[in-house]
């Protein structure tokens, strides 16, 4: 990495695998859980943004939120403290004196926040079965990072259940699809909040990071035997019938019904829900948007079911 790359944010995305390996090097391999690895990748990007924009406080605030969200994972604060020192040591010979001072300011702020006392996540309610407890744990973790996304996930789960029943699916299928909706955005646990809530169009590099939440979420749910059945929906909820979605560019015949339902529920609730970058959309207009993209982005039968549900309310 050369000095001029500090003026090109996309270069950090291109080199992120190498920099992530450096960031996580202080954590023993046995403690490099999936959460730790995901946070290491996101830390590299957040670190780069703090350096490029000369805003170390932004990084420190993000680290603070991550330490709160993962207070039950002792390796997380050690990851951030070690990553700062490892990246600073790696970069100090490649930067100017002024940038070296920025690196030191970042380390000081991060070290301050990682040593704050934390309260661990509450245990799941005993009334939940093991699968719901595992799902609830992930959603609570997401809520600590970004309450708005957790709120959206719960609403999507409710819409999924309504759609499944409207489509005359069994209660077992309905429960499965509702759980898919609850988990669909769990990969945003490691997405920087300033990207999630950017009040503007995202840059190319930021879109790369944003889209990673689908694969990151799949990795999280596949990490437990209790949630692995939901991996396909979490990975594929941004696929489109016309093959222009991500991450795999799947076409209509390849996309399971559960995924098609989650996609419609997700997009509809995103349009009518609270967003920092735009006002809420009336349900009628949101239905029009679904109809405009029916057959290309959305399954026509699922769109029809959503229209019938909303108009009966």
Name the token pair of 110.
């991060």
Name residues whose C-beta falls within 8 Å of residue 40's C-beta, 6 or more positions apart in sequence.
20, 23, 24, 79, 83
* Residue 188 annotated in active site: yes
Bond into 247 cis (ω within 30): yes
Closest among 88, 108, 104, 74 to 44, alpha carbons compared: 88
Catalytic member of 54, 188, 304, 312: 188
- Helix, strand or coil, per DSSP, at residue 298: strand
Q: How far apart are CA 67 and CA 80, in angstroms?
A: 9
Q: Is residue 236 a contact partner of residue 248, using CB atoms and an 8 Å limit?
A: yes
CA distance 165 to 148: 26
Phi/psi of residue 278, nearest 5 degrees:
-165, 160
Specify the 3-state DSSP secondary structure of 278.
strand
Q: How many residues does the chain have?
A: 313
CA–CA gap between residue 221 and residue 229 (Å, rounded): 8
Neighbours of 278 (CB within 10 A): 9
Helix boundaries (H) for 92-121: 97-114
Yes or no: say if 286 and 268 are a contact pair by the CB < 8 Å rule.
yes
CA distance 85 to 145: 24
CB 259 within 8 A of CB 237: yes
Catalytic machinery residues: 188
């Amino acid at each position: 990495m050369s000095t001029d790359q500090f003026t090109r944010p996309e270069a950090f995305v291109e080199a992120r695998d190498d920099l992530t390996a450096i960031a996580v090097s202080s954590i023993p391999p046995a403690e490099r859980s999936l959460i730790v690895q995901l946070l290491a990748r996101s830390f590299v990007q957040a670190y780069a943004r703090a350096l490029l924009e000369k805003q170390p406080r932004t990084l420190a605030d993000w680290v603070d939120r991550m330490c709160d969200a993962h207070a039950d994972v002792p390796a997380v604060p050690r990851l951030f403290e070690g990553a700062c020192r490892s990246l600073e040591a790696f970069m100090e010979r490649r930067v100017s004196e002024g940038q070296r001072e920025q690196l030191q300011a970042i380390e000081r702020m991060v070290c301050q926040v990682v040593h704050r006392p934390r309260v661990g996540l509450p245990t799941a309610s005993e009334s939940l079965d093991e699968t719901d407890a595992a799902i609830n744990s992930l959603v609570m973790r997401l809520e600590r990072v970004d309450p708005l996304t957790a709120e959206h996930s719960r609403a999507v789960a409710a819409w999924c259940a309504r759609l499944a029943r409207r489509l005359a699916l069994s209660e077992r299928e309905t429960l499965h699809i509702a759980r898919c909706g609850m988990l669909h955005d769990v990969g945003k646990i490691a997405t920087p909040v300033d990207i999630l809530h950017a009040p503007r169009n995202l840059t190319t590099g930021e879109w790369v990071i944003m889209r990673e939440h689908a694969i990151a979420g799949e990795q999280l749910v596949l990490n437990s035997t209790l949630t692995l059945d939901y991996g396909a929906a979490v990975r594929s909820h941004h696929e489109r019938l016309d093959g222009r979605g991500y991450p795999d560019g799947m076409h209509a015949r390849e996309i399971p019904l559960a995924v098609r339902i989650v996609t419609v529920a997700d997009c509809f609730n995103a349009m009518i829900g609270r967003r920092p970058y735009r006002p809420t959309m009336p349900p009628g207009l949101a239905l029009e948007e679904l109809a405009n993209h029916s057959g290309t982005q959305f399954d026509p039968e699922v769109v029809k079911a959503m229209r019938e549900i909303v108009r009966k309310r």
